[in-house]
Amino acid sequence: MQQRMIFGRYIEGNSWVHGLDPRAKTVAMLLFMTAVFMVNNYAGVLALLLFTLAVMKGSGIPLRYFIRAVKPLMFLLVFIFLFHLFYGAGGTQLLDVGAFKLYAGGLEKGVVSASRMLLFVMFAALLTFTTVPDRLAEGLGFLLRPLKAIRVPTDRLVLMLSISLRFIPTIFEEAERLWKSQVSRGLSFQGRPLSEKARLAIALLVPVTAGAFRRALGLADSMEARGYRLGAERTLLRALSWSRTDTLFLGSFLLPIAALGLL
Amino acid sequence: MVRELKAGADSCNASRVAVRMEHVECRRGEDRVLSDLSLTIPEGQWVCIAGRNGSGKSTLVRLMNGLLPHSEGRIVIDGLKLTPHTCPEIRRRVGMVFANPDDQFVGLTVEDDIAFGLENLCLRREEMQERIKRYAERLGIKHLLRRHPATLSGGQKQRAALAAVLAMEPRIVIVDEGTSMLDERSKQELLGIMQEMRASGAYTLISVTHDVEEMAQADRMLVIHDGGIVADGSPRDLLGQDELLQMCRLKPPYPLLLSRELRQRGIEIGDCLSESEVAEALWAYHLNGYRIATGTGG
């Protein structure tokens, strides 16, 4: 189950993208999302696609990893494209087959909308592929710091996020083990009505949840035994360090936004 | 590795007391888990705690780290009386390794996990990096530092957990059923590390176990039953008492059974607790027989 899922994983590497400060990558992601939502024509899509491909190339991660990350969403991408293709109007008529009429405007809207989704997923994958989840959480913690002024416990939120990320593979592993154990005892979803499927899914969910609680208690003991106290002062092994490359990287994201403004 | 482990912790004074518990009682709701328990563990000793499930072994060691509160009595750890105020300092001095290695990893990589305790100690970054490197090397997990805990074997996980605890340089190390979920080879590896820790004299080692082989290697054995200590002595004395072992639902160690079997067949080699002791005793027996037969005995 977890082997198939590539999205959200960190892929070790020594590229300049890997070496960037997680804060730079997180803010870049926000800027990129802004750019993605600003795009509304072929030229804009092409500009963003080239920009994304350049950053992907810089990461040194093979293209097949990104394709694997996008694959599970293929159905959604095709649906978005077809929806806009058949229901979008405007521009010259391209095709007229019975009840279906295809317009250039619909085609452009379909391509742009599906591309928006594709670009967003690819860039999010790039962020997780090149950043250790712990570092990502630390970067996020730094960016959320201003919220401390309104008493938002950002340190706890970051620790919670980091621990959640740590336990994802473990809980997947446990769910898979439980699933296999139930299948070996004759469990099958095939040919069952939806309500029955939901009941069986709950039968799987209950032991997984109970296991997660048990692990949480064990983890709390382990953390306390190693001197962790809520709100107590701590130092960090890795410091977040901002370099010129981070500034340049972030600055480069203003280019597509500016270009889109002009387009 | 023994010398290296010794260098990793402060040298200790053998006359000092690591753990002193006086008339300690621990309750969970209405149930009394431990009652009127008194115990003294000198520094540098390897103490093994045995007892059947639910007898109060894990509760006892959790009291030493302040993970559970005691309702009566007095607990002094490394010269500090356990109170809510001294608990953080005591946790610096008492490291704890738990049974299930999967439940004790906080970090996303082995390196981050070792760093977790050091970050809580508010160490400088350079010192953290130095300690991570030193203890990872000593426990043979340097090549695993960047790995996610889920990708490690049981033995590797337990070595990583021990490295995380030792890097905090505690004086007392508690291993709560640390070998219970390990395969034979990993168990032997962990026992080897524990023997080296004992030999270094730098740690007081307290292990909770159901494994007679582990018990046989300790300096002292405590048997807990119904929340109290029912036997306290050397493993050689206690492991030979069948009634006591039955109370703990344990079988005598195989070398001891072999010694008894040989005795029944007229070969007296004493009560051996390990394979090497059996081999030594049989060799001595063989030489003795040879001397008698040839008239060369001295």
Q: What is the pLDDT of residues A137-159, one digit of tens each?
A: 888 888 888 998 898 888 788 88
Site from B61, B113, B120 to mutate, A interface, most A CB atoms within 10 angstroms: B120
- Mean pLDDT is lowest, of A249-253, B74-78, B279-283, for A249-253
pTM of the model: 0.75
Contacts of B102 in chain A (CB under 8 A): 170, 215
Question: Which residues in A lie closer than 8 A to residue B131 (C-beta atoms)?
Answer: none
Residues B29, B239: Cα–Cα separation, whole Å: 34
Contact flag B119-A221 (C-beta cutoff 8 Å): no
Nearest to B211 by CA among B244, B158, B161, B248: B248
Across the interface, whether the CB atoms of A235 and B122 are under 8 A apart is answered yes
**A107 vs A261, which has greater pLDDT?**
A107
Amino acid letter, residue A131: T
- B contacts of A238 (beta carbons < 8 Å): 125
Amino acid at B60: L
Report, in angstroms and rounded to the nearest whole number, the Rg of chain B calculated over CA atoms.
Answer: 21
Q: Where are the domains of chain B?
A: 2-243, 253-298
Residue length of chain A: 263
Does the distance separating the beta carbons of B100 and A222 come in below 8 Å? no
Close Cβ partners of A56 (under 8 Å, ≥ 6 residues apart): A63, A66, A122, A126
Q: Is A228 on the interface with B (CB under 8 A)?
A: yes
Q: What is the largest CA-CA distance in chain A?
A: 73
Mean pLDDT of B117-126: 93
Please tell me the distance from the alpha carbon of residue B38 to that of residue B21, in angstroms, as a whole number.
5
**Which residues of chain B neighbour A133 with C-beta distances below 8 Å?**
108
What's chain A's average pLDDT? 84
**Which residues of chain A make contact with B115, given a CB cutoff of 8 A?**
237
Q: Is A210 on the interface with B (CB under 8 A)?
A: no
Identify residues of B whose CB sits under 8 angstroms from chain A CBs: 62, 65, 67, 88, 91-92, 94-96, 98, 100, 102-109, 111-112, 115-125, 128-129, 132, 146, 148-150, 164-165, 168
B157-215 per-position pLDDT tens digit: 989 999 999 999 999 999 998 888 888 888 888 899 999 999 998 999 999 999 998 99
pLDDT of residue B5: 45
Q: Which superfamily does CATH assign the domain made up of B2-243 to?
A: P-loop containing nucleotide triphosphate hydrolases (3.40.50.300)
Q: Do B124 and A236 touch (CB under 8 A)?
A: no
Residue A151 confidence (pLDDT): 84
The residues pairing with B47 across neighbouring beta strands, listed in sequence order, are B206, B220
pLDDT of residue B163: 93
